[in-house]
Amino acid sequence: MVNNAGIYPDHALLDMPVEAWDAVMTVNLRGTFLCTQARQRRQLQGGAVVNLASAAAFSARVGVAHYSTSKASVVMFTKSAAQELGRSGSASIRLLRG
């Protein structure tokens, strides 16, 4: 399964409506969490979970604090999920950095 959904609206930090922050976190981070959880609850054999992040997770950029934060969170979520779910041998979780 590939978690590839993401949105990237530009908003200056001081002008960013909370709805824009929430929308980016919902699509980019919550979606990754929910899809990973749903797949692992089905306990499918074989295959892997692939979560896509972004170079923005590793370097700050003007106008996309919400996007960069969401993608950095996807990186840490992926690392945590791989440790937790990989111990039992029930999951192969990978991160692709684009």
H/E segment holding residue 50: strand 49-52
Tell me whether residue 67 is one of the annotated catalytic residues: yes
> Which residue in 67, 71, 72, 73 is the catalytic one?
67
Tokens, residue 12: 């200056």
Nearest CA to 78 among 47, 40, 32? 32
Task: Cite the active site residues.
Answer: 67
